[in-house]
Amino acid sequence: MFNYTVLGAGRQGTAAAYDLARFGEAGRIVIADREQALAAEAAARVNRLSGREVAVAATVDARDRAALADLLHGTQATISALPFAFNLTATEAAIAAGSHIADLGGNTAVVQQQLALHPRAKLAGVSVLPDCGLMPGMGNLLALHALSLLANPREVYIYVGGLPLHPHPPLNYQLSFNMDGLINEYVGDAIYLRGGEIATVPALTEPEWVEFPAPLGRCEAFVTSGGTSTVPYHFAGRLRVYEEKTVRYPGHLSILQAWQALGLFDAEPQMIGGQLLSPRRVLADLLTPRISFPGAADVVVLRVRVRNDAGQEAQVDLLDQADAATGFSAMERTTGFPTALLATMQAQGLIAPGAQPLEVAVPVAEFVSRLGLRQFSEQSLG
């Protein structure tokens, strides 16, 4: 039996803890958050759903590296379900405590800082896996799986999105994870492979139409940042194309582009109406309650297409919907469950020590085999 700690008692953290209780050979799961009530609620929910008293609540300030390290002592594997800005501190604390760590990631610059800790992590016998959620995370691992299905693959195209089952105009979108992480995807550049070389492509560009099975139908897909993580660097010179786009209902992109043109994604404070305000912070605070629909059903779609020069193609599809039995949304399931799966593999010694990206560290066939146990609504993994 293993001891785990989940940092962050929000949506994805609670789902990850539940998966650990089911599949992670968990003897004890500490769910820690700065808000004691939130941690206690998450632990009680995991215990109720799993049918055993396996989860306990704790309070911790994620900015305090020493406090995090103290909390993580005696933990075989840790999951950081914190906003990406805290992941470097959490990683340093885990290494100091001798605990493996996997996180939801979402910001490649932070990931590069974590990977620079490889010598320290290896010396401590700790494995560090950044970017383990839906995308980046499971999407990139399923892309590696798809590459194994085709002889001499050359091009990889990934489409992924979380959408409301019953959309509310005009955005036709519902918030399913941290707002700061969402806006982060809409700014900066995506890292792609084009012509076998690293290319930067601005977010909110290159729209295309993609057809999915019901209930989604025809959707738009466009460039966002962070999804490919470090994978393009790994395959530079070996693959011609590696790219990922975010899926939304038709019309969503034009609204985002209008906000971008108005400067609403700018993070730096500006003098507005005699007050120094961050446009991004104002947008996030105004938007959050207007796109939050607690308990509303959602859908997550993930498609990977791989092509070779002979005109052959392999496709991997995953489509999941909210689970009424547990109350977990599709986004919680497809983000929290894969992260917990990887943390379980760390605890079991299947991931070598050191700070390494998924494409280097994870035995993909084993990951895909175990993924099937999570019973996502519809899967076609090749």
- State the amino acid at position 117 in one-letter form: L
CATH number for the domain harbouring residue 32: 3.40.50.720
What is the pLDDT confidence band of residue 379, given thresholds at 50, 70 and 90? low
User: Number of structural domains, the chain?
Assistant: 2
Maximum CA extent, the chain: 62
- 381 occurs within a structural domain: no
160-181 pLDDT, tens digit each:
999 999 999 999 999 887 788 8
Query: By mean pLDDT, which of 32-41, 77-86, 270-279, 363-372 is the weakest?
Result: 270-279
CB 317 within 8 A of CB 300: no
Cα-Cα-Cα-Cα dihedral sign, residues 243, 360, 103, 117 = negative
344-365 pLDDT, tens digit each:
999 999 999 999 999 999 999 9
Asked whether residue 344 falls in the same domain as residue 281, the answer is no
- 228 occurs within a structural domain: yes
Asked whether residue 356 falls in the same domain as residue 208, the answer is no
- 187 occurs within a structural domain: yes
What is the pLDDT confidence band of residue 378, given thresholds at 50, 70 and 90? low
Asked whether residue 84 falls in the same domain as residue 107, the answer is yes
Asked whether residue 61 falls in the same domain as residue 149, the answer is no
**For 94-114, what is the mean pLDDT?**
95
Asked whether residue 232 falls in the same domain as residue 148, the answer is yes
pLDDT for res 377: 65
pLDDT greater than 70 at residue 382: no
Q: Give the residue numbers spanning the domain of 91.
A: 2-132+332-375
284-306 pLDDT, tens digit each:
999 999 999 888 899 999 999 99
pLDDT for res 332: 96
Those residues with Cβ within 8 angstroms of residue 180's Cβ, 6 or more apart along the chain or in another chain: 83, 85, 284
pLDDT for res 184: 87
Asked whether residue 318 falls in the same domain as residue 363, the answer is no
pTM: 0.93
Asked whether residue 142 falls in the same domain as residue 172, the answer is yes
- Domain termination site, one of 293, 311, 330: 330
| Strand, helix or coil for residue 22 | helix
pLDDT for res 27: 97
CATH number for the domain harbouring residue 223: 3.30.360.10
